[in-house]
Amino acid sequence: MKTHPTINVMGMPSATVGTKSMNTPPHAPAVDGPNNIGEIVMGSTGVKFNNQMVGRLGDIANTCQVSGPAPLGQVVCAGTVLAGEVGVAVVVVTQQPIQAQAAQMNTAEAVQITVDALAAAAALQKIWSDLSGGAAVSAQSAAADCSAAASAVNTALQSGDPSELASAVSQAQDAIDAAQEVIQDAEEAEDEVQDRSAEYMRIAQRASGQAAILADRAASMARQARASADRARSAADELGPLQDAADSARSDLDAATQRAEAAQASYDAAVANAQAVQAESAAAQARVAEAQAAYDQAQQDRQAVEQRINDLRGGR
pLDDT band at 205 (very low <50, low <70, confident <90, very high): confident
DSSP labels for 238-252? HHHHHHHHHHHHHHH
Domain that holds residue 159: 96-209
- Kindly tell me the sign of the dihedral angle through the C-alpha atoms of 205, 211, 217, 219: negative
Which of 209, 234, 258 lies at the terminal end of a domain, its last residue?
209
Which of the listed ranges 4-8, 44-48, 99-103, 159-163 does the model predict with the highest average pLDDT? 44-48
| CATH number reported for the structural domain that contains residue 41 in this entry | 2.60.200
pTM for the complete prediction?
0.36
Q: Are residues 36 and 72 in the same domain?
A: yes
- 58 and 105 assigned to the same domain: no
Comparing 101-110, 145-154, 294-303, which segment has the lowest mean pLDDT?
101-110
* 29 and 102 in a common domain: no
Average pLDDT of the residues in 162-180? 85
Does 190 score more than 80 pLDDT? no
Measured CA to CA, the distance from residue 302 to residue 292 in angstroms comes to 15
**Same-domain status, 9 and 42:** yes
Domain identity same for 74 and 119? no
Residue 289 lies in a domain: no
Which comes out higher in pLDDT, residue 282 or 30?
282
pLDDT score at 128? 67
Contact yes or no for 70/52 (Cβ under 8 A): no
| The predicted structure's pLDDT at residue 151 | 85
Where is the domain boundary, 94, 117, 134? 94
Q: Are residues 34 and 129 in the same domain?
A: no
Query: Does one domain contain both 45 and 126?
Result: no
Rounded-to-integer distance, Cα 4 and Cα 27, Å: 28
- Is 63 inside any structural domain? yes
pLDDT at 91: 53
| 84, part of any domain | yes
267 within domain boundaries:
no
- Picking from 209, 228, 254, the residue at the C-terminal end of a domain is 209
User: Average pLDDT for residues 190-198, to the nearest whole number?
Assistant: 76
Let me know if residue 18 belongs to a domain: yes
| Mean local confidence (pLDDT), 80-107 | 51
Note whether 105 and 202 are same-domain residues: yes
Determine the Cα–Cα distance for residues 69 and 62; give it in Å rounded to an integer.
6
Per-residue pLDDT band for 281 (boundaries 50, 70, 90) equals confident
Long-range CB contacts (< 8 A, 24+ apart) of 42-47?
42/17, 42/71, 43/16, 43/17, 43/84, 44/83, 44/84, 44/85, 45/84, 45/85, 46/84, 46/85, 47/83, 47/84
Report the number of distinct structural domains present in the chain. 2
